[in-house]
Structure formats: C-alpha cells, structure tokens
Amino acid sequence: MPITKSAKKALRQNIKRRAGNIQRKKKIKDLIKEVKHLVSQRKIGEAKKLLPQAYKALDKAAKTGAIKENTAARKKSRITILVNKEGKS
C-alpha cells in the first residue's frame, strides 16, 4: 500500500485510468464481435454501418493510450477486409 501522499494520489489515478481503459477495450471487443457476427450472417449492410463506430472506438482508445496506434490500425484493417471480402462474394 502507498505511504506518501503522492503515492496515494497516483494509486487513485491508476484505478480510474484502468477502469476507463478496460471500458474502452470492452467496447472495441463488443463492436468487432458484432461486426463479425453480422458478416457471418451475411448482413453486410448492417456490418458496414457498424464500421464507423468501430473505427471511432479504436481511434479513441489509441489516442488515449489504451491500445497502441498500430494495434488500432491492424484491427481496423482486418475488419474492413473481412466486410469487403464477404461483400464481394
């Protein structure tokens, strides 16, 4: 347990930031899962409508440091490829 005043504050900040990061990551996972589910059901139009929301969540998480920039780019690329590939076939 922290002893000094600054260490106690740092712990409080860490707890709040961790909660926010977990929330952001959960939202990303849920959106990507939903897109994959829609693609598997051949509902490409609905999946394409969810893409901007997924992009926004990924970009915000990368901006705040919850995930890395390249991770966000990779995830965006993969879900876009998935949707476009299924849309063509």
pTM of this prediction?
0.86
Q: How is the chain split into domains, by residue range? A: 28-88
Of 4-13, 61-70, 80-89, the poorest mean pLDDT is in 80-89
pLDDT at 89 over 70: no
The residue among 68, 53, 70, 55 whose CA lies nearest residue 21 is: 68
Encode pLDDT of 43-75 as tens digits.
999 999 999 999 999 999 999 999 999 999 999
Encode pLDDT of 10-38 as tens digits.
999 999 999 999 999 999 999 999 999 99
| Cβ-based neighbour number of residue 47 at 10 Å | 23
Question: Which helix (H) or strand (E) is 20 found in, with range?
Answer: helix 5-40
Q: Is the dihedral of CA 40, 46, 48, 54 positive or negative?
A: negative
Nearest 5 degrees, angle CA 83-CA 73-CA 29? 65
Are the C-beta atoms of 39 and 47 separated by less than 8 Å? yes
Measured over all CA atoms, what is the biggest interatomic distance in the chain, rounded to whole angstroms? Answer: 62
